[in-house]
Amino acid sequence: MASVRLQQVRTLARSYQHDPRARATLSRACSDPSDQVRIQAAKALADEGQETLLEIAERPGVSEPVAVRALEALGASLPAQRGLALLDHSLRAGRRVVARAVLADLGRRRGPEVVPRIATVLAVEHAEMATAAAEALGLAGGADAEEALVAALRRSEEAVRRAAALALGKAGTASAIPFLQAAAKERPAEWWFQRDVQTAVAAIQARLLHADRGQLSLAEPAGGDLSLALDGPGAGHVSETAEIADEEDVQPK
């Protein structure tokens, strides 16, 4: 029975993972009829099991939960090009659960080879997929990711705008703050969006305040409010308090 074989593989992976005989058994288990057994065995084999996990995740007709478990077992080992191909296939086939998982994996990979494709998903997809792409760009970070997220603040779907704001809170720079503030002022009635913008601005400013003192210095402008002065070319001030909207505008009615 598959459940018995799965338990045996788990025992080997937990207690005998480095034993050569156990690893030989785990290698054979990568050809088991059960995908669950194969995933557990391949995960235990680490690098040796990656191709098995990729085959399961990419196989046409495999259930989405099983494909996602294979992707989770791969973690950061998902090759960028195969991940991008799997993303494209999943989007075309309407396999949204797999597409979300791939987006998250690609976001954690970062790098110039994946960010443009994630940004495209954010720009052309709607609702669930666009939100997942925004979250992935928040994991990826970088100037291109920030540019795509700033553009998404103007989207009509509130869920996408909220995801973009929170992603900027994770990966945005001081340059994103004016765009966040402007987006919030354009939609004063959307309390949840206002709150997410406030959260994002506070997170960006917290990163700036805790940055290396060799790159950042505190200065007190003429108005007396604490601000952050960036050293070096293009230096400027970032106000510590986000000017988003009047207090009564951001309270639930």
Q: Is 167 helix (H, G, I), strand (E, B) or coil?
A: helix
Q: Which amino acid type is present at position 124?
A: V
For residue range 88-99, what is the model confidence (pLDDT) as tens digits?
999 999 999 999
Q: Which residues of 118-129 are buried (b: 16+ CB within 10 A; e: fewer)?
A: bbebbeebeeeb
Lowest-pLDDT choice from 21-30, 115-124, 128-137, 214-223: 214-223
**Strand, coil or helix: what is 236?**
coil
pTM of the model: 0.77
Neighbouring C-alpha atoms within 13 Å toward the C-beta of 17: 13
Q: Is 143 exposed, middle or buried (0-12, 13-18, 19+ CB in 10 A)?
A: exposed
pLDDT, tens only, 21-59: 999 999 999 999 999 999 999 999 999 999 999 999 999
Per-residue pLDDT, 231:
41
Q: Which two tokens stand for residue 168?
A: 């900027």
